[in-house]
Amino acid sequence: MEISTLAVVGAGTMGQGIAHVAALHGRSVRLVDVSEAVLQRALQTIAHNLERQVRKERITATQKEEALGRITPATDLEAAVADVQLVIEAVPENPELKAQVFERLDRAAPPEAILASNTSSISITWLGARTQRPARVIGMHFFNPVPVMQLVEIVRGLETSDATYETIYRLAEALGKTPVTVNDAPGFVSNRVLMPMINEAIYCVMEGVASPEDVDQVMKLGMNHPMGPLALADLIGLDVCLGIMEVLHRELGEDKYRPCPLLRKMVAAGRLGRKTGRGFYEYASN
């Protein structure tokens, strides 16, 4: 099946990035959120990011306008997905919220439509079991910022069919991404490796081993990382990092995945990183 029309549910950072890339590569996109204000901010961000690509001569002004013209904002989820071939769920990393969304999508989307999740850690098999179409449920894990990052983790649930997998793999390639196939395991590959490193970096700060700046400098200069783990945590969102660590700890049952108490404290205080203006570093408001 060739995907020409899709819906993206959730117009936050990841959802707007997925919509941007899909529209730029010729797909008609319904961008869905419960809030009209969130949708308008998302469209403004997409337009701004497309304009940046024009200035860098990566796309033309005509391509920018055509991409924006392919994105339709919507607050009515059921109507938005009624005739699409694919839905990509990109709501916050909350298992019960995602399950509720998948149950609604299963009722509203055409029977032949594929339901994909941009989850960074939650079981695709578990999400598929919330539907009557587990063979058509798959993980499509993009990375932030979506227009820049090349990787997409393609996650097969226990019941995901070969046809679904092949369709989504081809779509990822058509969107200019590099798909990598992973099995359905907590955190997949990316966050199974990344999040414990970030968590350990936070322990280093909590225990007074080094300042956030120095922890990041060690990893940048000593390990050749383009960004230190604490700056990266701020970019991802400390609430997202905590959620993923909780999934790893719960599902794998090992103390090495226990979220650092300082991470919990910062999330409780609302210091979530770039999106709130303060995490391990402070950020000027936009």
Residues comprising the binding site for NAD(+)?
10-15, 33, 93, 98, 120, 144, 275
The amino acid sitting at 169 is: Y
Whether 195 is covered by a domain: the verdict is: yes
Together in a domain, 170 and 199: no
Q: What is the dihedral of CA 69, 73, 78, 79, to 10 degrees?
A: -50
253 with 224, same domain?
yes
141 is catalytic: yes
| pLDDT value of position 1 | 82
pTM assigned to the model: 0.90
Whether residue 118 is found in the same domain as residue 216: no
**CATH number of the domain encompassing residue 151:** 3.40.50.720
Strands 151-156 and 137-141, by their bridges, are antiparallel
120 included as an active-site residue: yes
Return the percentage of the chain with pLDDT > 90, whole number.
97
Question: For the chain, what percent of residues have pLDDT higher than 70?
Answer: 99
Of 120, 121, 123, 199, which residue is the catalytic one?
Answer: 120
Q: Are residues 138 and 212 in the same domain?
A: no
CB 64 within 8 A of CB 56: no
Is residue 101 in a domain?
Answer: yes
State the total domains in the chain: 2
Q: Is residue 285 part of a domain?
A: no
Residues 179, 194: one domain?
no
User: Does 286 score more than 80 pLDDT?
Assistant: no
Q: Cβ contacts of residue 233 below 8 Å, gap of 6+? A: 198, 201, 202, 241, 273, 279, 280
pLDDT band, very low/low/confident/very high, at 284 (cuts 50, 70, 90): confident
- Active site annotation includes 191: yes
Q: Which residue has the tokens 């409780």?
A: 268
pLDDT digits (tens, 9 = 90+) for 187-200: 999 999 999 999 99
What are the tens digits of pLDDT across the range 38-61? Answer: 999 999 999 999 999 999 999 999
For residue 258, what pLDDT is reported?
Answer: 97
> Is 282 among the domain residues?
no
Going by C-alpha positions, the residue among 126, 140, 32 that lies closest to residue 76 is 32
- Whether 250 and 270 share a structural domain: yes
Confidence band of 133 (pLDDT split at 50, 70, 90):
very high
The pLDDT confidence band at residue 124, using thresholds 50, 70 and 90, is: very high
pLDDT, mean over the chain: 96
> What CATH number is attached to the domain comprising 195?
1.10.1040.10
